[in-house]
Structure formats: C-alpha cells, structure tokens
Structure 1
C-alpha cells in the first residue's frame, strides 16, 4: 500500500466517502474541534506560542489563584501525571509560579505572574477575535444554542466536579 505524504489532491477528496460515521455526532464534533484548533494555531499559537490547552490552563489558574496542580488536572480533565509537564511549560515561559502550599509541603499552589497576567489579557483579546471569526457563520442565537447543547453532552460524561463554574 502506498503512503501519502502531505495533502491529498482535491480530486481524491471529491471521491472520499466517510461511510456511516458521516451520520455520527462524535465524528462531527471531532471535525469541528480540528477546525477550531487549526484556526487557533494559525492565529494564536503562531503569534503567542500558546496552544488551546495552555490557554485553557492559564484561564483556570488566573481565575483560581492558589489552585493545586491536582485540582488543575481535574478541572482540565487531564491525567495528573501529565500536568507537571504542562505546568513546567507555563512556568518556563514565566507565566505562572508554583509555590509550596503553606499547609501541605507536598502540594503546589499555582499563581499567575505579573507578566502572565499581562500575556493572558493580550491572548484573551486575540482569542475573542479568533472565536468570533471562527463562528461568524452562526448567528448569535445559533452560537448560544450550540454551546448549550455541547454543555449538555459533555456534562453528562464529565468526571469534573459539579462545583466547577464557567
């Protein structure tokens, strides 16, 4: 079997059939996520060096000063063993600091640095513009409906505690 490198020719795509998955919600959710992440990469990652995951973690840390690494892992639905690598990245970028908890020396508390707060404010503005551009084909009502429906789906499957607010 021949391996393809790069993008297939448009003529190849014209004949592409997705089969039964074309009617599956998960397939379309994944394609939507890929499209959103691609646009994020083109507009935010290239200019700010922050991926969607890092942006989300910055938001959670900024809005929950002193949050533990374990709580961040739960909030972001990420394996606790992999959160250390991500926290290291944010710390190396100078966006957050990791302090030992005053009540439990085994626990680290996460805080934004002043440069991190400034960077997040700048990134938020860019993300808001990117999000508006990405969803421009939807009316405000359609966008709100879509967000509401997606929340219903991921909340029923989430292991995130119910007390997590958006």
Structure 2
C-alpha cells in the first residue's frame, strides 16, 4: 500500500521512524554511533581513537598480563582476523607486545608496554568522564538502571552469566 503523497518533512521532529520507534536495537545502534563519534573527538591524537576494540583490548592487556588474543576477541566480539589486525596495529604503535606462551607454543600471550600502560591510565580518566558528559541529560539513577540492563545483556551474550 502506498502512503499518501504529502509535502516531505524538513525537520527531524516531523519524522516518524515507523516500526523502529519501538525497537531497542535501533536505539542501541544509533546511540552507539553518536557515542563513538563523541569519544573519538575526545581521544583525538591518541592511538586508540577511531575504531572499536582498541580501548577494551588495551585495558584487558593492562589488567591481565599474558591474556590471550582469543579471549579478548571473544569479549569484544571480533573474529580472529580482525583481532589479529588490531593486535598488529597496537603492537606497531608500541602499546602491547606479544610473546609465545610457555605452556603452548602455538598460543600467544599479550603484555602491556610502558607506553601502553601510560595510555591506559589516560583512558581510565577520559572514558568515564566522556560517558558522564555525553549522558548528562539522563539522571544518575536512570543511567544506573540502563547500565545494569545492558551489563546483564552483555554478560549473557559473551557467556559470563
């Protein structure tokens, strides 16, 4: 069925987003894009700007010396080839280093470098502040509720619950 011809809208508030209005996935994807753009602006000039997975990888390698790339890939939902490219890039930037596992010479272990550890400390300041600033229009108690819901979803998706 064709919709009646009408004058096209000229303002966002004149748009009806159809079935997307009531879908969580639409809002998650859209908000992800907006949050990522804002975070990239704050991280401009730092090695972890632009792209996804770098911040999580950096923090996990810093927190868990010797962590395997396969576990990080699982946690950030990346395939082996994407994870390999990410590690290559971060190693080239001097943020992490790889070693062959002494238990299994087919496995790699990841370790933070001095530059990587310093960057991780900066990230631990920037990221929470960016989140607070970006979502400042949402009361803290509501943010806590959304975080709880999304944390539970994430933990289920990656098999932590």
With the shorter chain as reference, the TM-score category is 0.7 to 0.9
| Residue 40 of structure 1: how far off its partner (Å) | 0.7
Taking the aligned partners of 2:87 and 2:19, their CA distance within structure 1 comes to: 40
| Residue 16 of structure 1: how far off its partner (Å) | 3.4
Count how many residue pairs are aligned between Structure 1 and Structure 2: 151
Taking the aligned partners of 1:47 and 1:95, their CA distance within structure 2 comes to: 14
1:49 to 37, 47, 50: 47
The Cα offsets for residues 20-73 of structure 1, whole Å up to 9 and x where unpaired, read as 1111111111111111111111111x1313144201111111111101111111
Cross-structure match for 2:4:
none
Name the SS of the counterpart of 2:72 in structure 1: helix
Gaps of 5+ in 1: 1-9
Taking the aligned partners of 1:43 and 1:130, their CA distance within structure 2 comes to: 8
Name the SS of the counterpart of 2:53 in structure 1: helix
| Residue 79 of structure 1: how far off its partner (Å) | 0.9
TM value normalised by structure 2: 0.84
Question: CA 1:123–1:104 in structure 2 vs 1: closer, same or farther (change >3 Å)?
Answer: same
RMSD of aligned alpha carbons: 1.9
Which deviates the most, 14-23 or 28-37?
14-23
TM value normalised by structure 1: 0.82
| Residue 14 of structure 1: how far off its partner (Å) | 5.0
Taking the aligned partners of 2:13 and 2:76, their CA distance within structure 1 comes to: 38
Name the SS of the counterpart of 1:162 in structure 2: coil
Gaps of 5+ in 2: 1-8
Cross-structure match for 2:98:
98
